């Protein structure tokens, strides 16, 4: 048996610690302002595809060396911000 499975209390504490880690806003802005990530975010905001969101979440998490759960809230906020600012929405189109 592995050492972590022997102590369920320690597992809960570690899981709570891991789930509370989030990406720092300024570091996230630095990543998403780079051209490749910016283009991917524009595509995800325009298409609304869950697969695009998942791919970007995994890519940013890999780049930042964090879990996807740590990146997801900031990513959702950024995609929503870009969708609201997209020309389609501003012109009274899609939303």
**What are the sequence ranges of the domains in the chain?**
23-90
The predicted model gives 29-54 an average pLDDT of 90
pLDDT at 55 (0 to 100):
94
Helix segments in the chain, DSSP class H: 8-20, 25-32, 35-47, 50-64, 68-85, 87-90
pLDDT at 20 over 80: no
pTM, two decimals, is 0.64
pLDDT at 1 over 50: no
**What is the average pLDDT value for the chain, to the nearest integer?**
78
Contacts of 46 (CB under 8 A, 6+ apart): 83, 86, 88
């Amino acid at each position: 048996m592995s050492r972590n499975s022997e102590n369920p209390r320690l597992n809960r504490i570690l899981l709570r610690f891991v789930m509370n880690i989030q990406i720092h806003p300024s570091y996230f802005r630095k990543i998403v302002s780079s051209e490749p990530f910016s283009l991917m975010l524009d595509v995800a905001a325009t298409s609304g595809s869950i697969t695009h969101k998942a791919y970007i979440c995994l890519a940013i998490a890999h780049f930042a060396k964090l879990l996807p759960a740590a990146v997801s809230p900031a990513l959702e906020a950024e995609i929503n911000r870009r969708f609201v600012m997209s020309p389609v929405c501003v012109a009274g189109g899609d939303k």
